[in-house]
Amino acid sequence: MRDIRGWTPLAVPGRPKVSVAVATFEQTDELACLLYSFKCQTYPNWEAVVVHDGPGPAARSVVAQVADPRVRLIETPERRGQFGHPWRELGIDACTGDYVGLTNGDNYYAPVYFEWMLHLLTRDDADLAYCDWVHSHAQWSVMRAGPGKCLTDLGCWVARAGLAKSTPWRDHGFDGDGTFFEDLARKATKVVHLPRPLFVHN
Protein backbone atom coordinates (compact mmCIF):
# COMPACT_ATOMS: atom_id res chain seq x y z
CA MET A 1 0.00 0.00 0.00
CA ARG A 2 1.19 3.53 -0.66
CA ASP A 3 1.41 5.99 2.23
CA ILE A 4 -1.01 8.91 2.68
CA ARG A 5 -0.12 11.48 5.32
CA GLY A 6 -2.52 11.27 8.26
CA TRP A 7 -4.02 7.97 7.09
CA THR A 8 -3.55 4.82 9.14
CA PRO A 9 -3.71 1.76 6.85
CA LEU A 10 -6.63 -0.56 7.54
CA ALA A 11 -6.38 -4.33 7.79
CA VAL A 12 -7.83 -6.36 4.91
CA PRO A 13 -7.38 -10.03 5.91
CA GLY A 14 -6.65 -12.42 3.07
CA ARG A 15 -5.99 -9.63 0.55
CA PRO A 16 -9.12 -10.40 -1.53
CA LYS A 17 -9.43 -9.15 -5.08
CA VAL A 18 -12.06 -6.51 -5.87
CA SER A 19 -13.42 -6.06 -9.38
CA VAL A 20 -15.32 -3.08 -10.74
CA ALA A 21 -17.42 -3.34 -13.90
CA VAL A 22 -17.32 0.01 -15.72
CA ALA A 23 -20.05 0.93 -18.20
CA THR A 24 -18.87 3.50 -20.76
CA PHE A 25 -19.81 5.02 -24.10
CA GLU A 26 -17.55 7.37 -26.06
CA GLN A 27 -15.82 8.77 -22.97
CA THR A 28 -12.15 9.72 -23.11
CA ASP A 29 -10.88 12.19 -20.49
CA GLU A 30 -13.62 11.12 -18.09
CA LEU A 31 -12.73 7.45 -18.44
CA ALA A 32 -9.04 8.22 -18.02
CA CYS A 33 -9.80 10.13 -14.80
CA LEU A 34 -11.72 7.15 -13.43
CA LEU A 35 -9.01 4.64 -14.32
CA TYR A 36 -6.26 6.82 -12.86
CA SER A 37 -8.30 7.08 -9.65
CA PHE A 38 -8.11 3.28 -9.54
CA LYS A 39 -4.35 3.37 -10.14
CA CYS A 40 -4.06 5.77 -7.18
CA GLN A 41 -5.80 3.37 -4.78
CA THR A 42 -3.91 2.43 -1.63
CA TYR A 43 -5.19 -1.14 -2.05
CA PRO A 44 -3.48 -2.82 -5.01
CA ASN A 45 -5.45 -6.05 -5.59
CA TRP A 46 -8.15 -4.82 -7.95
CA GLU A 47 -9.30 -5.12 -11.54
CA ALA A 48 -11.43 -2.87 -13.75
CA VAL A 49 -13.58 -4.50 -16.43
CA VAL A 50 -14.43 -1.69 -18.84
CA VAL A 51 -17.42 -2.52 -21.03
CA HIS A 52 -17.99 -0.19 -23.99
CA ASP A 53 -21.53 -0.10 -25.42
CA GLY A 54 -20.67 -1.08 -28.99
CA PRO A 55 -17.28 -0.81 -30.74
CA GLY A 56 -15.18 1.76 -28.88
CA PRO A 57 -11.92 2.96 -30.43
CA ALA A 58 -11.80 5.90 -27.99
CA ALA A 59 -12.06 3.60 -24.97
CA ARG A 60 -9.44 1.33 -26.55
CA SER A 61 -7.09 4.30 -26.78
CA VAL A 62 -7.67 5.31 -23.15
CA VAL A 63 -7.05 1.80 -21.85
CA ALA A 64 -3.86 1.61 -23.89
CA GLN A 65 -2.76 4.98 -22.48
CA VAL A 66 -3.41 3.92 -18.88
CA ALA A 67 -1.35 0.78 -19.57
CA ASP A 68 -2.26 -1.19 -16.46
CA PRO A 69 -2.69 -4.98 -16.67
CA ARG A 70 -5.47 -4.74 -14.08
CA VAL A 71 -7.66 -2.93 -16.64
CA ARG A 72 -9.50 -5.00 -19.25
CA LEU A 73 -11.68 -3.71 -22.09
CA ILE A 74 -14.71 -5.45 -23.57
CA GLU A 75 -16.17 -3.92 -26.74
CA THR A 76 -19.63 -5.27 -27.42
CA PRO A 77 -20.62 -6.10 -31.01
CA GLU A 78 -23.50 -3.62 -31.05
CA ARG A 79 -24.80 -0.59 -29.17
CA ARG A 80 -27.90 -1.33 -27.13
CA GLY A 81 -28.37 1.76 -24.97
CA GLN A 82 -30.87 1.05 -22.17
CA PHE A 83 -28.77 3.22 -19.85
CA GLY A 84 -25.93 0.69 -20.17
CA HIS A 85 -27.69 -1.91 -18.05
CA PRO A 86 -27.28 -4.89 -20.43
CA TRP A 87 -23.52 -4.35 -20.44
CA ARG A 88 -23.38 -3.94 -16.66
CA GLU A 89 -24.66 -7.50 -16.44
CA LEU A 90 -21.97 -8.57 -18.91
CA GLY A 91 -19.35 -6.74 -16.85
CA ILE A 92 -20.40 -8.42 -13.61
CA ASP A 93 -20.21 -11.82 -15.28
CA ALA A 94 -16.69 -11.02 -16.55
CA CYS A 95 -15.37 -9.93 -13.15
CA THR A 96 -12.94 -12.36 -11.51
CA GLY A 97 -12.67 -10.80 -8.05
CA ASP A 98 -13.89 -12.00 -4.67
CA TYR A 99 -15.89 -8.78 -4.43
CA VAL A 100 -17.63 -6.81 -7.18
CA GLY A 101 -18.71 -3.20 -7.67
CA LEU A 102 -20.15 -1.14 -10.50
CA THR A 103 -19.52 2.35 -11.82
CA ASN A 104 -19.85 4.57 -14.88
CA GLY A 105 -16.99 5.81 -17.00
CA ASP A 106 -17.27 9.42 -15.83
CA ASN A 107 -17.07 8.85 -12.05
CA TYR A 108 -14.01 8.74 -9.79
CA TYR A 109 -12.92 7.67 -6.29
CA ALA A 110 -10.95 8.72 -3.22
CA PRO A 111 -7.68 6.76 -3.04
CA VAL A 112 -8.73 4.80 0.08
CA TYR A 113 -12.05 3.57 -1.37
CA PHE A 114 -11.07 -0.05 -2.01
CA GLU A 115 -9.07 -0.35 1.20
CA TRP A 116 -11.82 1.05 3.44
CA MET A 117 -14.69 -0.86 1.84
CA LEU A 118 -12.83 -4.18 1.92
CA HIS A 119 -11.76 -3.53 5.49
CA LEU A 120 -15.42 -3.22 6.52
CA LEU A 121 -16.55 -6.20 4.47
CA THR A 122 -13.87 -8.51 5.88
CA ARG A 123 -13.96 -7.16 9.44
CA ASP A 124 -17.74 -7.50 9.73
CA ASP A 125 -18.09 -10.58 7.49
CA ALA A 126 -20.60 -8.56 5.46
CA ASP A 127 -22.05 -9.30 2.04
CA LEU A 128 -22.55 -5.69 0.95
CA ALA A 129 -20.97 -2.34 1.87
CA TYR A 130 -21.88 1.13 0.67
CA CYS A 131 -20.61 4.65 1.33
CA ASP A 132 -21.76 8.25 1.00
CA TRP A 133 -20.90 10.17 -2.14
CA VAL A 134 -20.53 13.61 -3.72
CA HIS A 135 -23.01 14.49 -6.47
CA SER A 136 -21.76 16.96 -9.07
CA HIS A 137 -25.32 17.41 -10.39
CA ALA A 138 -26.36 18.74 -6.96
CA GLN A 139 -23.77 21.51 -6.62
CA TRP A 140 -21.18 19.05 -5.27
CA SER A 141 -23.32 18.22 -2.26
CA VAL A 142 -22.50 15.25 -0.05
CA MET A 143 -25.26 12.66 -0.42
CA ARG A 144 -25.99 10.56 2.65
CA ALA A 145 -26.51 7.06 1.34
CA GLY A 146 -29.29 4.73 2.41
CA PRO A 147 -30.27 1.15 1.64
CA GLY A 148 -33.13 1.94 -0.75
CA LYS A 149 -33.67 2.93 -4.37
CA CYS A 150 -32.50 6.47 -5.25
CA LEU A 151 -30.61 6.63 -1.94
CA THR A 152 -27.40 4.92 -3.07
CA ASP A 153 -25.64 5.45 -6.39
CA LEU A 154 -24.51 2.46 -8.42
CA GLY A 155 -20.88 3.48 -7.93
CA CYS A 156 -20.69 3.53 -4.14
CA TRP A 157 -21.17 -0.10 -3.14
CA VAL A 158 -19.13 -3.32 -3.15
CA ALA A 159 -20.69 -6.79 -2.76
CA ARG A 160 -19.50 -10.34 -2.47
CA ALA A 161 -19.05 -11.67 -5.98
CA GLY A 162 -21.44 -14.55 -5.37
CA LEU A 163 -24.18 -12.15 -4.31
CA ALA A 164 -23.69 -9.83 -7.30
CA LYS A 165 -23.44 -12.66 -9.84
CA SER A 166 -26.52 -14.50 -8.53
CA THR A 167 -28.76 -11.43 -8.51
CA PRO A 168 -30.60 -10.91 -11.83
CA TRP A 169 -30.81 -7.43 -13.35
CA ARG A 170 -34.58 -7.21 -13.70
CA ASP A 171 -35.03 -3.49 -14.44
CA HIS A 172 -33.54 -1.90 -17.58
CA GLY A 173 -35.20 1.47 -16.96
CA PHE A 174 -33.57 4.69 -15.78
CA ASP A 175 -33.51 3.57 -12.12
CA GLY A 176 -32.48 0.00 -12.90
CA ASP A 177 -29.25 0.31 -10.94
CA GLY A 178 -31.27 1.34 -7.88
CA THR A 179 -33.52 -1.70 -8.29
CA PHE A 180 -30.44 -3.91 -8.51
CA PHE A 181 -28.99 -2.43 -5.31
CA GLU A 182 -32.29 -2.94 -3.50
CA ASP A 183 -32.27 -6.57 -4.59
CA LEU A 184 -28.68 -6.98 -3.36
CA ALA A 185 -29.53 -5.44 0.01
CA ARG A 186 -32.61 -7.63 0.35
CA LYS A 187 -30.63 -10.82 -0.31
CA ALA A 188 -27.59 -9.88 1.78
CA THR A 189 -27.22 -11.40 5.23
CA LYS A 190 -25.28 -8.39 6.50
CA VAL A 191 -25.00 -4.86 5.06
CA VAL A 192 -22.64 -2.14 6.33
CA HIS A 193 -22.73 1.60 5.67
CA LEU A 194 -19.62 3.78 5.68
CA PRO A 195 -20.62 7.42 6.41
CA ARG A 196 -17.78 8.91 4.35
CA PRO A 197 -18.02 10.47 0.86
CA LEU A 198 -15.43 8.39 -0.99
CA PHE A 199 -17.01 8.51 -4.44
CA VAL A 200 -17.82 11.31 -6.90
CA HIS A 201 -20.81 10.89 -9.22
CA ASN A 202 -20.71 12.92 -12.44
pLDDT tens for residues 129-138?
999 999 988 8
Separation of alpha carbons 49 and 80, rounded Å: 18
Q: How confident is the model over 23-82, as pLDDT tens digits? A: 999 999 999 999 999 999 999 999 999 999 889 899 999 999 999 999 999 998 877 766
φ, ψ for residue 199, nearest 5 deg:
-140, 140
* Global pTM value: 0.95
Q: How confident is the model over 146-199, as pLDDT tens digits? A: 887 788 889 999 999 999 999 999 988 888 899 999 999 999 999 999 999 999
Distances (CA, A) of 129 to 39, 132, 159: 21, 11, 6
CB contact set of 67 (below 8 Å; sequence gap of 6+): none
Q: Where do the domains of the chain lie, and which CATH numbers do they carry?
A: 18-201 (3.90.550.10)
What DSSP string describes 142-171? EE---SSTTTS-TTSEEEEHHHHHHS----
Is 143 buried (19+), middle (13-18) or exposed (0-12) by CB count in 10 A?
middle
pLDDT for res 84: 64
Rounded to an integer, the average pLDDT of 92-96 is: 97
Q: How confident is the model over 136-150, as pLDDT tens digits? A: 888 999 999 988 778
